[in-house]
A and B are shown apart, each in its own frame.
Chain A
Amino acid sequence: MADETMMDDLVTLTYEELLPPNTVRFAEALVDGRILGQRCHVCARVYVPPKGYCPLDVVLLDADDDVEVSDRGVVTGFTIVAPVRYYGQTKTEPFVYASVLLDGASGTLGGQDITGVPTDQVHAGMRVRAVWKPKEERTTKGQSARGWGNVEGCISSFEATGEPDVPRAEFEEHVI
């Protein structure tokens, strides 16, 4: 039998993208302590972050369609992650991964940490507000041309406000 030869061929692909104008405006507003969305002038849905278009009506949107949304909202769904050790995992304690529907937005921000209450008390319908990092610590970290709506560079978590819960009927269409 012939000798087997193993050959390593590690590949690195590097991408450098310009941020589109809609994402630049979102990132700048975020550093300034404001959350920007874009309202479709056909269906009035508000996209956070701005996409530069409405995918439902297939119309292009621009800076004139930008609107500010609240930094308060409601938890529509969540999971509690109990970290297992794998390469790249830096968390050791259970944490929350929640979807937050901001007041004035038509879609949720995903993957948000919820603080201010023990993890076992987090629930859908809970009112929350953004915990802004001190202004000098805010960055554009996580912003990409894909525009997923990363706020991690400026908002460390969302904390419970203590307001009464929102009835499920008011956010049900956002529950995945």
Chain B
Amino acid sequence: MPATDIAIVGWAQTPAVARTDATEPQLCMQANLAAIAMAGIERSDIGFTCAGSCDYLTGGPFAFVQNLDAAGAWPPIAESHVEMDGAWALYEAWVRLQHGDIDVALVFGSGKSSPSDPAELYPQQLDPYYLEPLGLDPASIAALQARALLDTGRATERDFAEVVARSRRDARTNPNAHVRDEDDPERLLAAPYTRNPLRAHDVAPVSDGAAAVVLATARRARQLTEHPVFIRGIDHRVDVHQPGMRDLATSPSTADAARRAGLGDAPVEVAELAAISSPQELIVRDAMGLGDGVAVNPSGGPLGANPVMATGLIRIIEAARRVADGTARRAVAHATNGQALQHNLVCVLEGES
């Protein structure tokens, strides 16, 4: 059965920062209120709410329950939560809207990375026998992946620096990004290695922030806005957990998700990719078959701001923004979970045809 057309009619994100004193529910409420206002709906119009966050980041069991304060859970609402990036919450809401009995859904993703130390925390998402005891931190995994890519001969360290330079230049014009440092590839290459072959700037920062999206069925979307952004295809696929059991220089799950989302049916002008290291951008680009004419991460991408658990949802927002304002007729967004591009989601967006 073909999927029902679902459109993005509202979105918002809190400006990502390295450290905020706002609580996560406060961040979520700021994002939700702004997205609801943009969509021009009442909270009572929402038939389903889905959130994405990570209790390990927040530092408390069932911490996600308090985030629900930001959605207004009394009188009772129909809601769900994924311990994943908010992009997967959007996927669940998209599936829920296929049922046809509701016409509006609210999605939000949030994370505060500032309270914890990624090197201490992230090994907890790895298998507890072989990888977690090694203390394999995100920068080290990114470096293993970078080395695998270099060894294929398909990329050089200069290519990594070019990705960082372009991302930082684009982040400068994004009020929601916070990394706007050095953007000259030569000077970037002169920086010392932190995890050979990566330098500090090759790995995305971790940020605090939240983002929200309002989805509506096509009929409702056309009532709400003159520029609905339709989800033409959305799919997610997963590779094996163990980094040692797959080729880190490729991303078969991204390629598979892109194919099933219909990415190849027509060209895209914009791609927002949740690449959390500069080599990852090259790998995801390759997996999606994006040509040189595609503007990749015009928002500055995760290298400019990386509010973990909202980063993927923000890619969908940034792609949708460019379809809504006419910059792109067709755009693609990518989100990822797990380590070294383990789990990938691809979402193809188009304006009114």
From A9, A18, A57, A146, give the contact of B19 (CB < 8 A). A18
B-contacting residues, A49-63, CB 8 Å: 51-53, 55-60
Please count the residue pairs between chain A and chain B whose beta carbons lie under 8 angstroms apart in the complex. Answer: 70
B70 touches A58 (CB 8 A): yes
From A9, A12, A14, give the contact of B132 (CB < 8 A). A9
B21 touches A21 (CB 8 A): yes
* A46 CB, min distance to chain B CBs, angstroms: 16
Task: Report if B20 contacts A (CB, 8 A).
Answer: yes
* A47 CB, min distance to chain B CBs, angstroms: 11
Known: A14-B116, A19-B21, A147-B23. A60 touches B29 (CB 8 A): yes
B72 touches A13 (CB 8 A): no
Which A residues are in CB contact (< 8 Å) with B128? 9
Which B residues are in CB contact (< 8 Å) with A18? 19-21, 114
Which B residues are in CB contact (< 8 Å) with A60? 26, 29-30, 33
Size bracket, chain B contacts: 20 to 34
Task: Report if A2 contacts B (CB, 8 A).
Answer: no
B133 touches A9 (CB 8 A): yes
Size bracket, chain A contacts: 20 to 34
A58 touches B72 (CB 8 A): yes
From B26, B60, B133, give the contact of A7 (CB < 8 A). B133
Task: Report if A173 contacts B (CB, 8 A).
Answer: no
B-contacting residues, A85-144, CB 8 Å: none
Contact mask B110-125 → A, CB, 8 Å, 1/0? 0010111100110010
B121 touches A53 (CB 8 A): no
| 23 A–B pairs (Cβ distance < 8 Å), ordered by A | A13-B120, A13-B124, A15-B59, A15-B115, A15-B116, A16-B115, A18-B20, A18-B21, A20-B22, A52-B22, A53-B70, A55-B25, A55-B72, A55-B73, A56-B74, A58-B32, A58-B70, A59-B33, A60-B29, A60-B33, A145-B23, A146-B23, A146-B60
Interface residues of B (CB under 8 A from A): 19-23, 25-26, 29-30, 32-33, 43, 56, 59-60, 66, 69-74, 112, 114-117, 120-121, 124, 128, 132-133
**Considering the complex of A and B, which 3 residue pairs feature the smallest CB-CB distances, nearest first?**
A55-B69, A15-B59, A58-B72
